[in-house]
Amino acid sequence: MAGVDDHFLTVQQVAELLHVSPKTVFNMTRDGRLPARRLPGSRRYLYVRQEILDLLDENRTEVRPRAEEEAAEVDAER
């Protein structure tokens, strides 16, 4: 069974997951780009792990390996 620590992420953990600074995570939360929860009487944000992972999946872009990119460019020139 997953514990509370497995279900929620801190600002720092989200920053590491997204490869951005904690300040960026905070700004993205304030402007609504990241879903977050606040505990009553607390100024700290908590993030539901699955919501962040789903958001990453929704916004994932395909990255082709370098060799495929070069082959596609050569084919396009022909």
23-54 pLDDT, tens digit per residue, is 999 999 999 999 999 988 988 999 999 999 99
pTM: 0.69
CB-count burial class (<10 Å; 0-12, 13-18, 19+) for 12: exposed
Residue 6: pLDDT band (50, 70, 90) is confident
Q: What CATH number is attached to the domain comprising 51?
A: 1.10.10.10
Q: Domain of residue 47: give its range.
A: 4-77
The one-letter amino acid code at 57 reads D
What's the CA gap between 42 and 11, in Å, rounded? 14
Domain count, the chain: 1
- E strand or H helix that includes residue 48: strand 45-48
